[in-house]
Amino acid sequence: MIGLELETVELEVTDRVAWITLNRPEALNAWTRRLGQDMLTALEHAAAEPLIRAVVFTGAGRAFSSGADLKAAGEVQPGADGGTDVEGLLRDVHHPLILRVRTVPKPVIAAVNGPAVGIGCSLALACDLVLACESAYFLLAFVNIGLGLDGGASMLVPARVGHARAFEMAYLGERLPAARALEWGLVNRVLADGEFAPAVRALAVRLAAGPPGSYAAIKRTINQGLYERFEEVLSLEARLQQERVESKDFGEGVAAFAQKRSPEFTGE
């Protein structure tokens, strides 16, 4: 596969488009350390190859991504104090990918073929254009287990839908169906499930045939206007997420989720 050692991602290049498919369908494409590394490796290949003119992220199976998989063996390394080092995982693996999606000087499309949850939602929104099938939904589920935002969601969401709707998504932790996401301006297009794949391909091929220099210039200026402090925000998210993971509320949130009951948060 293009000489790359990828375990959790499929990379296909056709018609000058790099198709990066998250390939953990049995786990609804939940993020692991290896998935983050593989996605970045595939993206850097696409960035470095002049013949590749556009990039598409999508998911294998019925989900785009269900968010972080903190249950995966060896997923989170112990911190200096023996605790869970989520800050390191975000800082060293996941956030560099999100940042690169925003800065790679080529058009990047999110083809959201199913649920986009947590950092999976962040990945979709980091892309330049977001296409969703009718059955997809978007969910910032962090608050449901006592976490803050990560993956750049605290900047990516308000950049698309504004202050009020960003807080609604983040505070309520409710599913946002694709049709409502389109109404809010969170996504660019919603397509019938049966029309989704050909429509994504047509748009990707169109972008790949366009002027690379123009796209690079446009992305750079939009980034300057909307995402100038993106690295700083990613760093803050990682630091605050570490605090949340060490809280009793996070433990209660995870336990309640596993037991299929409502959590009882205490603020500890």
Cα-Cα-Cα-Cα dihedral of 211, 111, 90, 171, to 10°? 120
Q: Which single residue is written with the structure tokens 């939940």? A: 30
Give the start-end residues of each E strand in 121-213: 129-133, 137-139, 176-177, 189-191
What's phi and psi for 249, nearest 5 deg? -65, -35
Residue 196: in which H helix or E strand, if any?
A: helix 193-208
From the list 13, 17, 14, the residue with the least C-alpha distance to 208 is: 17
Residue at 101: amino acid letter = V
Active site residue ranges = 95, 150
CA atoms within 13 A on the CB side of 47: 14
From the list 89, 95, 91, the residue with the least C-alpha distance to 69 is: 89
Q: Is 20 helix (H, G, I), strand (E, B) or coil?
A: strand
Largest separation between any pair of C-alpha atoms in the chain: 55
How far is C-alpha 217 from the chain's CA centre? 23
From the list 50, 58, 52, 56, the residue with the least C-alpha distance to 21 is: 58
Cβ distance 140 to 118 under 8 Å?
Answer: yes
Q: Is 134 helix (H, G, I), strand (E, B) or coil?
A: coil
